[in-house]
A and B are shown apart, each in its own frame.
Chain A
Amino acid sequence: GAGVSQTPSNKVTEKGKYVELRCDPISGHTALYWYRQSLGQGPEFLIYFQGTGAADDSGLPNDRFFAVRPEGSVSTLKIQRTERGDSAVYLCASSLTSTREGPAGELFFGEGSRLTVL
Chain B
Amino acid sequence: GDSVTQMEGPVTLSEEAFLTINCTYTATGYPSLFWYVQYPGEGLQLLLKATKADDKGSNKGFEATYRKETTSFHLEKGSVQVSDSAVYFCALSDNDMRFGAGTRLTVKP
User: Does B bind A?
Assistant: yes
Interface residues of A (CB under 8 A from B): 3-4, 33, 35, 40-45, 48, 56, 58-59, 91, 93, 100-103, 106-112
Summed over the interface, the residue pairs from A and B with CB atoms below 8 Å come to a total of 62
Known: A41-B101, A42-B101. A112 touches B95 (CB 8 A): no
Q: Tell me the interface secondary structure of chain A in the complex.
A: loop
Query: Please, which residue of chain B has its CB at the minimum distance from the CB of A112?
Result: B43
Of the listed stretches B14-22, B44-52, B64-72, name the one at the interface; the rest are far from the partner chain: B44-52
A109 to B34, CA, bound (A): 14
Interface residues of B (CB under 8 A from A): 4, 29, 31-32, 36, 42-46, 49, 89, 91, 93-102
Q: Which residues of A contact B49 (CB under 8 A)?
A: 106
Q: Which residue of B lies closest to A6 (CB)?
A: B43
Q: Determine whether the beta carbon of B99 is less than 8 Å from that of A42.
A: yes
* A52 to B: closest C-beta gap in Å: 18
Contact B46 A48 (CB under 8 A): no
A91–B44 touching, CB < 8 Å: yes
Residue in B29, B94, B102 whose beta carbon sits within 8 Å of that of A42 in the complex:
B102
Q: Do the beta carbons of B44 and A102 come within 8 Å of each other?
A: no
Query: What are 25 inter-chain pairs, A to B, with CB distance below 8 A?
Result: A3-B43, A4-B43, A33-B97, A35-B99, A40-B102, A41-B101, A41-B102, A42-B100, A42-B101, A42-B102, A43-B89, A43-B99, A45-B96, A56-B95, A56-B96, A91-B43, A93-B44, A100-B95, A101-B29, A102-B31, A102-B96, A106-B46, A107-B36, A109-B44, A111-B43
Known: A40-B102, A42-B101. 4 other contacts (CB 8 A): A42-B100, A93-B44, A102-B94, A106-B46
With both chains docked as a complex, state the minimum distance between the C-beta of A111 and any C-beta of chain B, in angstroms.
5
A117, B89: Cα distance in complex, Å: 26
Determine the chain B residues whose CB is within 8 A of the CB of A41 once the complex forms.
Answer: 101-102
6 residue pairs, one from A and one from B, having the closest CB atoms = A42-B99, A102-B93, A109-B43, A109-B44, A106-B46, A111-B43
